[in-house]
Amino acid sequence: MFDTIVFYALPLSFTLLVACALTALVSAGVLFMFRLRITNQTLKHPYLDKFSWARFPLTIKVAILLDYFLRLAFPKSKFWIIGDANHRLAHVQPEDVSAHIKWPLMGLWGGCFIGLVAMLVLWSMIIIKMV
């Protein structure tokens, strides 16, 4: 019975991992090539009041994009890092942000987080299959 579950879960988790990777890559490409300026102008992160986008290292840029995602995806949460993003971006009303701005952020971070879960499932299925 357990072999049947592994038989179906292994290719499913691999397919989901590849789909998440492609979604994240396409969303990141669209965001960084075409939508970054309008996204920053619309959501106005407080860090961008102090310095321009180009002066930040990549880690801070990605953290700003993560704050945008967390504010848009979980607007009422006050827990941990999500609550901090909601506090920093309290001026942003998620229902007023257009889908034109939202979908690259949702695709990038949604693909990353769902892909992480798919990768954990994939590796656990591989380990179970080896044992």
pLDDT digits (tens, 9 = 90+) for 88-123: 999 999 999 999 999 999 999 999 999 999 999 999
Structure-block tokens of residue 108: 């990038």
Closest of 105, 127, 119 to residue 40, by C-alpha: 105
Q: How far apart are CA 126 and CA 123, in angstroms?
A: 5
Q: How far is CA 92 from CA 58, 80, 122, in A?
A: 23, 19, 37
Residue extents of the structural domains in the chain: 2-130
Structure-block tokens of residue 40: 């920053």
Model confidence over 13-69: pLDDT tens digits? 999 999 999 999 999 999 999 999 999 999 999 999 999 999 999 999 999 999 999
Residue 46's pLDDT is: 95
Residue 102's pLDDT is: 96
Closest of 33, 18, 50 to residue 104, by C-alpha: 33
pTM of the model: 0.90
